[in-house]
Copies of this chain bind each other. A is one copy, B any other.
Amino acid sequence: MDKMQLDKHIYQQYDSELEALQTKLLAMGGIVEQQIKDAVNSIENADSDLAEKVIRIEDDVDLREVALDHDCTTVLACRQPTASDLRLVLAVAKMTRDLERMGDEAQKIAKMAISLNQSGAAPGGYEEVRHMGTLVQNMVHNALDAFARFDAIRAVEVARADKQVDREYKSAMRELMTYMMEDPRSISRAMNILWTLRSLERIGDHTRNIAEHIIFLVKGMDVRHKSVSDIESKVKGD
Which residues of A line the B interface, CB within 8 A? 62-63, 65-66, 69-70, 73, 76-77, 80, 82-83, 86, 90, 93-94, 97, 177, 180-181, 184-185, 187-188, 191, 222, 224-225
Contact = CB atoms under 8 A, between A and B. Distances in A.
Given A73-B90, A80-B80, A83-B77, A66 B225 contact: yes
A187 B191 contact: no
A177 B181 contact: no
Given A76-B76, A225-B62, A188 B184 contact: no
Contact of A65 (B76, B187, B224): B224
B82 A86 contact: no
A76 B91 CA distance: 13
Given A66-B224, A76-B86, A77-B83, 4 more contacts: A62-B225, A73-B90, A80-B80, A181-B187
A115 B181 CA distance: 18
Contacts of A66: 222, 224-225
A86 B62 contact: no
A40 to B, nearest CB: 21
Nearest to A220: B73
A104 to B, nearest CB: 10
